[in-house]
Structure formats: structure tokens, C-alpha cells
Amino acid sequence: MTNADDMLAVAASRAARLAAPGLSPMPRRKVAVLACMDTRIDLFPMLGIERGDAHVIRNAGGLVTDDAIRSLSVSQRQLGTEEIVVVMHDGCGLHGASEDQFAQALAADGVQPTWRLGAFDDVEATLRRGLARLRSSPELPARDHIRGFIFDPETGALREVRVPAVGGRIVLATDR
């Protein structure tokens, strides 16, 4: 059996517990969470959320990509969310990765994607840039409540990364 077969069997055995009759697709807490797909990140207990509380969007790195903005725009414009929380983490597989090596491996397989890997050298600076991008994205009508955090999977600690505003303009570390 494959993992998918096992998963299908488990879902079938738990159908009554998985059913959500009457639960709205609109998050109760009006929040969307963008996070890395890393298996060590268990967002529900970490953030004190339950099914129905939040939209959860995950990708490699928890990066603010075009597709993440698309999902967040749907979350806000169609389903009423008003806050965004971004969770990145220490020890991410994209930290220190090589864009060039990844692109070469894809090219060797005859693949020319329209996207980049998203490798980064500084998780905090990457998070700050992502938060600034969200705060300046016209696709998002609710941009006043956007916050970012970095999780340490070794200790379980979650710390906030703030992006200071100066004269109404977001100041990035690279601007200093």
C-alpha cells in the first residue's frame, strides 16, 4: 500500500470525526496564517487555534509569493479575514540553499519553471521583506494587522519580528 492508500483508509475510518456540518468556510477568528510546510511546525497547538478558527496557507519557506498573496486575497475578499500572521522558522531547508544549483537540477531534467526556489540567507530579513510586501499589496484590503514570527523547532520558542514604520514608510534592514 502507498501512503495515499493508508491515508484514504484512515480518513474513511474517521469520517464522522472529520465531518464539519454547519462549520463556515469563513474563519471564526478572521485570521489567515501563512507558514512554512516544514513537518516540525504544528500550527494549531502553537497558535492556539482550532479547526474553523483560521485559514492556513503553507508553502516552502512560508514565503510571501504571488500564490500566497492570491490565497490571502481570496481569504480576505471572499471569506472575511482581517488579519495575517506569517510563521517562518529557524533551520528551514531554504536557508542557505542554492538557487543556481536548484535551477541547474531542474534544467537537467528539461524543466524550466516560471518560479524560483526562494532560497534565503537571513530568515529575519526575509520575513521582514515578506511582511513589507504584504503591507503594500493592493490585492489585500486589510493590511493593518499583519504580523510575523520565527519559530525555533529545537526549543519550541516563537518570537515576533517587527517591521518598524518611519514616516508612514516601512523601513527594511536593507534600507538602513
pLDDT tens digits along 137-172: 999 999 999 999 999 999 999 999 987 765 555 544
3-state SS string for the chain: CCHHHHHHHHHHHCHHHHCCCCCCCCCCCCEEEEEECCCCCCHHHHHCCCCCCEEEEEEHHHCCCHHHHHHHHHHHHHHCCCEEEEEEECCCCCECCCHHHHHHHHHHCCCCCCCCCCCECCHHHHHHHHHHHHHCCCCCCCCCCEEEEEECCCCCCEEEECCCEECCEECCHHHC
Whether 14 is covered by a domain: the verdict is no
Whether 2 is covered by a domain: the verdict is no
* pLDDT confidence bin for 176, thresholds 50/70/90: very low
* Rounded Cα–Cα distance for residues 133 and 140 (Å): 11
Report pLDDT digits (tens) over 80-110: 999 999 999 999 999 999 999 999 999 999 9
Whether 38 is covered by a domain: the verdict is yes
Residue 37 structural domain = 26-175
Average pLDDT over residues 18-42: 97
Is the confidence at residue 36, as pLDDT, over 80? yes
Provide the domain count of the chain. 1
Whether 10 is covered by a domain: the verdict is no
Whether 116 is covered by a domain: the verdict is yes
The pLDDT, as a whole number, for residue 165 is 61
* pLDDT confidence bin for 174, thresholds 50/70/90: very low
- CATH number of the domain at 137, please: 3.40.1050.10
Whether 1 is covered by a domain: the verdict is no
Whether 43 is covered by a domain: the verdict is yes
Whether 145 is covered by a domain: the verdict is yes
